[in-house]
Amino acid sequence: MSIRPIRWLAALALVAAPMAVFAQSAAPARVASPDGRLVVEVSTDGEGRPSWRAERDGKPLVAPSRLGMLFVDAPKFERRLAIAGQRAGSADATWELPWGERRVVRDRHNELRVTLAETQAPRRRFDVVFRVFDDGLGFRYDIPAQPGLARLEIADELTEFVVAPEATAWWLPALEWNREEYLYQRTPLAEVGRAQTPITLRAADGTHLAVHEAALVDYPAMNLVRVDGHRLRADLTPGTGAARASVAAPFATPWRVLLVADSAAQLASSDLVLNLNEPNALGDVSWVRPMKYVGIWWEMHLGTHTWASGAQHGATTERALRIVDFAADHGIDGVLIEGWNEGWDGDWFGNGEDFDFTRPYPDFDLERVAGHARARGVRLIGHHETSGHAAHYESQLGDAFDLYRRLGVDAVKTGYVADGGQAKVRDEDGRLRYAWHESQAMVNHHDRVVREAAKRRIAVNPHEPVKDTGLRRTWPNLVTREGARGMEYNAWGLPGNPPEHEATLVFTRMLAGPMDFTPGIFSMRTRSGEPMATTLAKQLALYVVLYSPLQMAADLPEHYEANLPAFRFIQDVPVDWEDSRAIAGEVGEFVVFARRDRRSDDWYLGAVTDAQARTLRAPLDFLEPGRRYTAQVYRDGPGAGWQADQTDLVIESREVAAGDTLELRLAPGGGQAIRFVAGPAGNL
């Protein structure tokens, strides 16, 4: 990966207030976005309490919101603080994603570093660093080493986001048993409870906001609790002891992020979270290769096969060889095989101590399957279900990855199936402790897994993960993850995912990063036979709408073999993009994405809707001017609908060019997928 700074406009220059000036009436510190629309101020009040606020286009966006921190073993950072210094800086640089939804990312922001110092003993000090972009802002606490603060035992943050305008919120409850796998609630902001991030907000004037965090490293995940009115306060995920975070100074917290956009589509196009992460730490990552894959998987969720051994065991040698052949015959790069290793036979959910990550079941010949996959040019995807027992997994981690390395497996799906609060870690005394999936201990566990995998040139795809905070920039082998209700809910039966689910995910969960949603179900029936909330066209559109560098064709091979014309789109659609544009959408209603292939000049379009049928106009202004394209259209037919004929799919071709506008007719619960095959350049 290459990092190409364009220019540094100003290098962090000291602009104000020497240390000794503690006047509490000092002018607020101010910083604006490069386009000047978003302005942030940091100030202290008469009691020395620091706060931040933001305006956009001269209108209040964030009302005064507190900054500070509670400690387990020391007085809080909150009162009797004064601005002891401030430094401003700016950056305008581009850098490249080795794989992603676009190749080139621009990082253009203005920075303000404010030093807050206690005016009385113990006279501690810390910085708050703001970076303000045209599409939002991030800020973090940067705490230097100082006498009496070698370790920080953080009880919680006092960080607030007081959203000024009236707003509608889309949010998931935090610290509940089903982790991040709840349906999004849509409520007035004033009715939010304790929420996970990202939380998405639409203000009355159409401004779209999302609160999230970036670069979550060695720290617990941040949730938000509504204190009163529109006041959201950070609520760090509890740890296994009194402190929620225990770190050594100097220490910088993750970035607290507010995305700001004029529309839902713009919100879904932000690179701000990635920009706030550290650059690639791995150097050459050409071994991280995006791919599509099939697997021994859907049948376990439908209940016709089992992960456990026995007559219905899914991962037998014979079935594995068959699916490898299916992948090879149809040009699908990868095969995931779940339930291949010992440990699934008891009550595996939430236990995990029985798993052996190097011992295959007797009816699964791992060496033979791996050899066959290599011979047929298919990449096996490894599977490590831990049932949340991180400590047990860590005891085998090296051997587990060594085995895959030896077999040529370069991607591993991990899993942490356990109720919230029931992950298992060891504390510093070696005692087993129950932990939240997003506790500091689990954040550090995932960090160890990613590093161990990287040493062996293996990519990871965690399910029941810690939420994405953009760490794929630093660790490009952290390719994708779950972290929301995926397709599996539709196998299990009612209530499956509702028709608006994917159009909600795009503007909520997907703001964090890629998701292994596992689309492409052609059978479209739950295990008890009810229709899933989709049409066939929508299943195809999801490959464009829900970005992931690992993208599953999740259905059984026989369902694809029964409809090869529709399967063609899954074979064609790329998983690595030169550029991506959300061209229209409303949260939880519909979305249209256009993306350009990284390896050709072809463009792809995906559109999905909720329960409403809609006709959307899609101007093709993303296509290269002066060039003809063949649009291969996969659309809902006249009888299509998730409660009507789910399979009514029309496949047709037409010639188009930039400047044309397509009418996209989406059935209830439907969608549309288009491949634009580029003709020779300049043929118009």
| Lookup: tokens for 505 | 């995910």
Smallest distance, Å, CB 180 to Ca ion? Answer: 9
Identify what 555 binds: ligand NOJ, Ca ion, none; CB under 5 to 8 Å per kind: none
Question: What sign results for the dihedral spanned by CA atoms 552, 558, 559, 564?
Answer: positive
- Give the residue from 448, 441, 378 showing the smallest Cα distance to 414: 448
Q: Is 150 exposed, middle or buried (0-12, 13-18, 19+ CB in 10 A)?
A: exposed
Q: Which is nearer to ligand NOJ, 415 or 670 (CB)?
A: 415
For residue 184, how many C-alpha atoms fall within 13 Å in the half-sphere facing its CB? 30
Smallest distance, Å, CB 438 to ligand NOJ? Answer: 16
Q: Which is nearer to ligand NOJ, 463 or 628 (CB)?
A: 463
| Residue 27 CB neighbour total at 10 angstroms | 11
Q: Looking only at residues 28 through 67 of this chain, which bind Ca ion when binding is defined by CB under 5 A?
A: none
Residues that bind ligand NOJ (CB under 6 A): 297, 338, 385, 415, 417, 463, 482, 488
Amino acid identity, residue 371? G
Smallest distance, Å, CB 463 to Ca ion? Answer: 5
**Euclidean distance between CA atoms 72 and 163, whole angstroms:** 29
Smallest distance, Å, CB 358 to ligand NOJ? Answer: 17
Smallest distance, Å, CB 366 to Ca ion? Answer: 24
- Report the relative pairing of strands 222-228 and 194-195 from DSSP bridges: antiparallel
The answer to whether the CB of 330 falls within 8 A of the CB of 560 is yes
| Lookup: tokens for 66 | 């507190």
- Give the residue from 478, 460, 354, 464 showing the smallest Cα distance to 409: 460
Q: How many residues bind Ca ion (CB under 5 A)?
A: 1
Amino acid identity, residue 528? S
**Euclidean distance between CA atoms 323 and 328, whole angstroms:** 9
Q: What is the DSSP string of 523-579?
A: S-B-TTSPBPS--HHHHHHHHHHS--SEEE--S-HHHHHTTHHHHHHHHH--SSEEE
Q: Which is nearer to ligand NOJ, 426 or 463 (CB)?
A: 463
The single residue of 160, 181, 488, 500 carrying the catalytic annotation is 488
Q: Looking only at residues 461 through 520 of this chain, which bind Ca ion when binding is defined by CB under 5 A?
A: 463
Smallest distance, Å, CB 546 to ligand NOJ? Answer: 15
Buried b (16+ CB within 10 A) or exposed e, 526-542: beeeebbbbbbbbbbbb
Smallest distance, Å, CB 326 to ligand NOJ? Answer: 19
- Whether 488 is catalytic: yes
Amino acid identity, residue 169? A
Q: Which is nearer to Ca ion, 113 or 463 (CB)?
A: 463
Q: Which is nearer to ligand NOJ, 71 or 492 (CB)?
A: 492
Question: What sign results for the dihedral spanned by CA atoms 464, 465, 469, 475?
Answer: negative
- Report the relative pairing of strands 69-71 and 151-157 from DSSP bridges: antiparallel
Question: Does residue 619 have a cis peptide bond before it, meaning omega lies within 30 degrees of 0?
Answer: no
**Euclidean distance between CA atoms 229 and 190, whole angstroms:** 5
Residue 680's contacts (CB-CB under 8 Å, 6 or more residues apart) are 627
**Euclidean distance between CA atoms 112 and 322, whole angstroms:** 58
Q: Which is nearer to ligand NOJ, 543 or 604 (CB)?
A: 543
Q: Which is nearer to Ca ion, 481 or 538 (CB)?
A: 481
- Report the relative pairing of strands 590-597 and 291-296 from DSSP bridges: unpaired
Q: Which is nearer to ligand NOJ, 337 or 673 (CB)?
A: 337
Q: Which helix (H) or strand (E) holds 187?
A: strand 185-188
Q: Which is nearer to Ca ion, 198 or 483 (CB)?
A: 483
Q: Looking only at residues 445 through 464 of this chain, which bind Ca ion when binding is defined by CB under 5 A?
A: 463
| Lookup: tokens for 88 | 């401003």
Question: Does residue 680 have a cis peptide bond before it, meaning omega lies within 30 degrees of 0?
Answer: no
Smallest distance, Å, CB 417 to ligand NOJ? Answer: 5
The answer to whether the CB of 254 falls within 8 A of the CB of 140 is yes
Smallest distance, Å, CB 300 to ligand NOJ? Answer: 6
Buried b (16+ CB within 10 A) or exposed e, 262-291: ebbbbbbbbbbbbbbbeebebeebeebbbb
**Euclidean distance between CA atoms 602 and 572, whole angstroms:** 10
The answer to whether the CB of 636 falls within 8 A of the CB of 625 is no
Smallest distance, Å, CB 222 to ligand NOJ? Answer: 24
Q: Which is nearer to ligand NOJ, 180 or 488 (CB)?
A: 488
**Euclidean distance between CA atoms 262 and 24, whole angstroms:** 36
Q: Which is nearer to ligand NOJ, 160 or 299 (CB)?
A: 299
- Report the relative pairing of strands 334-337 and 379-385 from DSSP bridges: parallel
Identify what 415 binds: ligand NOJ, Ca ion, none; CB under 5 to 8 Å per kind: ligand NOJ
Identify what 338 binds: Ca ion, ligand NOJ, none; CB under 5 to 8 Å per kind: ligand NOJ
Q: Where are the alpha helices (DSSP H) in 262-415?
A: 264-267, 272-275, 298-302, 317-330, 366-375, 390-407
Instruction: Compute the C-alpha angle 139/141/147, nearest 5°.
Output: 165
Q: Which is nearer to ligand NOJ, 297 or 629 (CB)?
A: 297
Binding site for Ca ion (CB under 5 A): 463
Positions marked active-site: 488
